[in-house]
């Protein structure tokens, strides 16, 4: 077992000040998922170059893939890399979709500055109890906690975001008060993955449920809200993937204008994973198809990293509004 480390020893920041400033400034902090070196380099380069605060987040699966100790030092390296670029951007290391007290505790003990406990699938009272337990532990170390109310539709679901899965605004005040969470993820029509909406020919993406968001804002004024499942599924990359041997029919995401609108509201954190995956896959496919004799991973991963950096800069500048806010 690795020794305990506090996030401040890694140069990391929790989300408290980031969210207070995002709320006041009408923008959202980008929360980008990463699993490997090239993704993390792209995130740090894009955020340092645009002067954006950033949340680098890892899922349970990413933690298993990359190794918890490795991740700790990758985060330390990410902060140092930003500083060597002359950037003072705050960097938060966040656990995405923690599903137990134990994994949240392990992340707190391993230098994470923020954790999510996702009890959204549990009955309400069990979600409250589990979230409260994580908050009690994490707050001892000044680690901030994200909870969730309402279930995002799964990518396999036939019916996307059925009414019963949206966040119930009448529950949020009680949940926030009883648990002591620092931010709350809500369900207003987004979903994870690259197939967010099933559209018939000629149909366009339905608007997110901004009415639910407004109701939530009224009940917990000034409280930071988190939007999961916020990839736009950029069609240029889907086209490239399909052009170079992939098969991603009907992949569609949340239009950028809707995310921009959300970022101006109480939404202080916007989670993006799938868009990063799409860029990497598209550029690796393209590179290998055009350079069939190439076998140096630095070449095709380097091409992917470059394009990912550009996409994330674009998101900070024109979608989240976080550029220049660090």
Burial class of residue 229 (count of CB atoms within 10 Å of its CB; 0-12, 13-18, 19+)? buried
Paired tokens of 270: 């916007």
> Please, which of residues 209-228 interact with ligand 13P by CB under 6 A?
228
Residue 33 makes contact with ligand G3H by CB under 6 A: yes
Three-state DSSP at 116 gives: strand
Chosen from ligand 13P, Zn ion, ligand G3H, none, partner binding at 272 (C-beta under 5 to 8 Å by type) = ligand 13P
Q: Which of 229, 237, 259, 313 binds ligand 13P (CB under 6 A)?
A: 229
Query: Interface with ligand 13P by CB under 6 A: which range of 48-56, 123-131, 229-237, 302-310?
Result: 229-237
Nearer CB in complex with ligand G3H: 254/326: 254
Q: Which of 109, 273, 286, 307 binds ligand 13P (CB under 6 A)?
A: 273
Q: 36 vs 70, 89, 121, 282, CA distance in Å?
A: 10, 21, 29, 17
User: In the chain, where do the E strands start and end?
Assistant: 29-33, 54-59, 91-98, 114-117, 144-149, 183-186, 225-227, 267-272
CA-to-CA distance for 116 and 134, rounded, in angstroms? 9
Q: Which of 41, 59, 106, 187 binds ligand G3H (CB under 6 A)?
A: 59
Binding mask 183-222 for ligand G3H (x = CB under 6 A): ---------x------------------------------
Three-state DSSP at 155 gives: coil
How far apart are CB 140 and ligand 13P at their closest, in Å? 25
Count of alpha carbons within 13 Å of 165, Cβ hemisphere only? 15
> Please, which of residues 231-290 interact with ligand G3H by CB under 6 A?
273
> Please, which of residues 92-121 interact with ligand 13P by CB under 6 A?
96-97
CA-to-CA distance for 276 and 11, rounded, in angstroms? 25
Three-state DSSP at 170 gives: helix
CA-to-CA distance for 97 and 146, rounded, in angstroms? 9
Q: Which residues bind Zn ion (CB under 5 A)?
A: 228
Which residues are near ligand 13P by CB under 6 A?
33, 96-97, 192-193, 228-231, 271-275
Interacting residue ranges for ligand G3H, rule: CB under 6 A? 33, 59, 61-62, 96-97, 192, 273
Residues annotated as part of the active site: 96
């Amino acid at each position: 077992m690795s020794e305990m480390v506090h996030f401040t020893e890694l140069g990391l920041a929790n989300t408290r000040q980031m969210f207070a400033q995002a709320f006041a400034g009408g923008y959202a902090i980008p929360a980008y998922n990463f699993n490997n070196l090239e993704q993390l380099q792209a995130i740090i380069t894009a955020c340092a170059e645009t002067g954006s605060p950033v949340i680098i987040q890892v899922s349970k699966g990413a933690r298993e893939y990359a190794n918890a100790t490795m991740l700790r030092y990758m985060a330390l390296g990410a902060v140092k890399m930003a500083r060597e670029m002359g950037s003072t951007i705050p960097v938060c290391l966040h656990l995405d979709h923690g599903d137990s007290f134990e994994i949240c505790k392990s992340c707190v003990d391993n230098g994470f500055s923020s954790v999510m406990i996702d009890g959204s699938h549990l009955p309400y009272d069990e979600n409250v109890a589990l979230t409260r337990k994580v908050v009690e532990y994490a707050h001892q170390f000044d680690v901030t906690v994200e909870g969730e109310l309402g279930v995002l539709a799964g990518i396999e679901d036939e019916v996307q975001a059925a009414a019963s899965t949206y966040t119930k605004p009448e529950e949020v005040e009680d949940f926030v008060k009883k648990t002591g969470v620092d931010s709350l993820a809500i369900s207003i029509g987004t979903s994870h993955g690259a197939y967010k909406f099933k559209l018939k020919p000629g149909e366009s993406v339905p608007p997110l449920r901004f009415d639910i968001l407004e109701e939530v804002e009224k009940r917990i004024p000034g409280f930071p809200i988190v939007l999961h499942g916020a990839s736009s599924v950029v069609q240029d990359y889907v086209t490239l993937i399909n052009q170079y041997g992939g098969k991603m029919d009907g992949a569609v995401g949340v239009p950028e204008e809707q995310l921009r609108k959300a970022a101006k509201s109480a939404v202080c954190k916007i989670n993006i994973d799938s868009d990063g995956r799409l860029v990497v896959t598209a550029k690796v496919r393209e590179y290998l198809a055009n350079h069939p004799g190439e076998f140096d991973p630095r070449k095709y991963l380097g091409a992917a990293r470059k394009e990912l950096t550009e996409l994330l800069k674009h998101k900070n500048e024109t979608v989240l509004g976080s550029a220049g806010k660090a």
